[in-house]
Amino acid sequence: MKDEPNLKPLSCADELARRFHDTYEKLAPDFGYKTRELSAVAWADVPYNNKQLMIATCKSLLEQGI
């Protein structure tokens, strides 16, 4: 299928963005940082535009081979 190669990087980017978000929130207190209560949300509750930006950023990095 022609479009299939594009599905894997997006899936990887989505997974990377989710894991980054979750890990960042988990590690932040170890570095003396706490996300503001108003903006601290689970990945599922991240606003759509913010989530899409994080996924696009991860997708771009993956395409760069980083």
Count of the separate structural domains present in the chain: 1
**54 close to 17: Cβ distance less than 8 angstroms:** yes
Confirm whether 58 is domain-assigned.
Answer: yes
Q: How far apart are CA 46 and CA 21, in angstroms?
A: 10
* Residue 1, pLDDT above cutoff 50: no
Cα 64 from chain centre: 16
- Tell me the pLDDT tens digit for each residue of 3-25: 445 556 668 999 999 999 999 99
Q: Is residue 27 part of a domain?
A: yes
* % of the chain exceeding 90 in pLDDT: 70
Instruction: Calculate the CA dihedral of residues 29, 32, 33, 38 and round it to 10 degrees.
Output: 80
Decide if pLDDT at 52 tops 80. Answer: yes
Higher-confidence residue of 65 and 7: namely 65
Q: Which domain holds residue 59?
A: 13-32+42-66
With respect to residue 7, please indicate whether it lies within any of the assigned structural domains: no
